[in-house]
Every structure is written in C-alpha cells, then in structure tokens.
Amino acid sequence: MVKAWYIDGEELVTDEKVKRSERHLNPPQYISLDELRHRTGVQCERVNVDKYDTDDSLQEICREKGYQYSDILDIHPQRLENYHDKLAAFYTEHMHPDDEVRLVLKGSAYFDVRDVDNNWIRIGVERGDMLNLVGGTYHRFTLDCDGYGKLFRLFGSKADWSSFNRPADSHPARIAYVEKAVMGF
C-alpha cells in the first residue's frame, strides 16, 4: 500500500535508518494520498498484479491516458546490466518530458518527488502499487534494503526513457508542470 511522507533531501535507505524508523526515534510525517496528489500531481492506483496484463481497471487506465506501450524493468544485480550504475542514475534527481507510470510487480521501492514548495516527499511502494508521476516532475528512485524490484512500465505512443537531470527548469515539460502546480493539480 502506498505511503508518503516528508523527508530530508539527502535521506537514503539503509539498514540502520530502517532500524531507527522501526524504533520510532524519528517518526515520519505522513501525508494522505489526496495531499500527495494536491502537492505533487502524483496519482496512485492499486492493481491486481496476478492479472495485471488482463486486468480491466488497468486496461481502462491505459485507454483513458493513451498508454500504448509497456515493458518490464527487472532491477536485480544478476538481471540488470550495470546494476549499480543504473541505480545511481535512477537516484540522481531528474524529470521526464512524459508521465512516468510504474506498477510494482515484485519487491518494494521508493520514489522521492518534489512538492510545490520544493520539499522532498518519499513515496513507498510495494507489489500492486501503481504511480503516475506527471511529466516535468522532479524525482528520483531507489530500492529498499532488499535491493530488488520488478516494475511494469507504461508509456504513451512510444517507449521514451528520456530524462533530464536537474536543473531543467527551461524544459517545456517542466514549464508545463509548474503551470499545473500553480493552477492546482
């Protein structure tokens, strides 16, 4: 189940941080999914991953949003070439011109997104969670301590992995994102 909370911008997932969190020494400031959408434009859905390729609700989302292409990203040291380099690239703050839609098939992970006030919000996702990050959203991605995740990725009319590291404030997608943020998501 998706959970979201404010974090310090440099926070990384480590076994020690998980242990401290479990002891509630530094409890997170959780926000609702409605507040997450309001502050970032990020939308969350639950999908039955046992039938994701035939799930009617997922098919409806694809029709509604115009997603025509998909693939699977298997983030595992033995299955992803240059695993550590890819994780470092995913964790570098960036944005995409198009929406980033990810459904977690296996494992769990974190998406960090900037809110309208430029603060970091961490979004914890697990199996069955699907996120839609609006094109132009500054974000980064990391796995949890298990170091594994399998993601179903959705794209518009073509697969586009283009990303632009921050700062990319003059990019048309970022300008459109800021306009949406000002008007309200």
- 38 has binding-site annotation: no
What does the pLDDT read at residue 25? 61
Report yes or no: 130 and 45 within 8 Å, Cβ to Cβ. yes
Q: What is the pTM of this model?
A: 0.89
Q: Which fold has domain 43-111+124-183?
A: Jelly Rolls (2.60.120)
The domain limits of the chain are 43-111+124-183
Please state, rounded to an integer, the average pLDDT across all residues of the chain: 90
Give the largest CA-CA distance in the chain: 47
Give percent of the chain above pLDDT 70: 91
pLDDT, tens digit, for every residue of 40-52? 999 999 999 999 8
pLDDT, tens digit, for every residue of 104-145? 999 999 999 999 999 999 999 999 999 999 999 999 999 999
- 24 has binding-site annotation: no
Q: Quick one: average pLDDT of 51-63?
A: 87
